[in-house]
Amino acid sequence: MNKIIVAIDGYSSCGKSTLAKEIAVALNYIYIDTGAMYRAVTLYALRNKLLSNDKFDKQQLIESLPQISVSFSYNSTLNHSETYLDGENIEGQIRGIEVSRHVSKIAQVKEVRAKLVEIQREIGKEKGLVMDGRDIGTVVYPNAELKIFMTADYKIRAQRRFEELQAKGDDISYEDVLNNITSRDNDDTSRSVNPLIQADDAIVIDNSEITRDEQLKIALQYVSEKISQ
């Protein structure tokens, strides 16, 4: 069977990773969460005191880039890849509000983007890949066979994310989550390097009113059309 690349882009917290993981499991493809890569570099910058609420030493980060290793390793228990920073599994440390608050600054640095895009292209050489992010169908894989652009009402996204963080025990208010989502939407769409835009040939899935199963069914229908072409 033809292997393809499925590129999934869209706004923060609209379930891109959930859908991407489910497609990858259904097809036995590799799944890569590129947001996790930007989060990993953010964690590096926070740990090395290059980044805080009132400071960002961009130049030092750029100089450190050759020494920063971001990679993935497949976890067969969880059925998906996990993110590693310099050999350390950092999955548990990159999803909280602290990294979320700062990640947009890191994602604007063109040298960071260039490094991560190169890694992302290397991973997809053999196809059989589902990758999600903001610039996958436009920059990383402009020739991807299937491009999905995901969206959902911002209040619904904030509510879902709030419940997720609460379940993890994060002490955070709904307003904080809502503000973080709207400001990241703004940063993602307005940055000068590789902003979030819908590719002309992307199909749009708005999951405000549909279930996980429904969105998976829709996506797999498109996948099977592309594979049989």
Residues in contact with ligand DC by CB under 6 A are 12, 34-35, 38-39, 103-104, 107, 133-135, 184, 188
In whole angstroms, how close is the CB of 67 to ligand DC at the nearest point?
21
Closest separation in Å from C-beta 226 to ligand DC? 21
Least CB distance to ligand DC at residue 173 (A): 19
Q: How far is the CB of 192 from ligand DC (least distance, A)?
A: 12
Instruction: Name the residue with tokens 């923060």.
Output: 12
User: Which C-beta is closer to ligand DC: that of 191 or that of 227?
Assistant: 191
Q: Nearer to ligand DC by C-beta: 33 or 145?
A: 33
Report the nearest approach of ligand DC to the CB of residue 64 (Å): 19
State which residue, 190 or 224, has the beta carbon closest to ligand DC: 190
Q: Toward ligand DC, which CB reaches closer, 164 or 225?
A: 164
- Cβ 228 to ligand DC shortest distance, Å: 29
In contact, 203 and 151? CB cutoff 8 Å? no
> Cα(143)–Cα(135) distance, rounded to whole angstroms?
12
In Å, how far are 104, 207, 213 from 193, measured between CA atoms?
12, 27, 34
Q: Which is nearer to ligand DC, 155 or 217 (CB)?
A: 155
Compare residues 29 and 113 and give the one whose CB is closer to ligand DC: 113
Helix axes 154-167, 174-190, angle to 10 degrees: 120
> Which residues, at least 6 apart from 76, have a Cβ–Cβ distance to it below 8 Å?
none
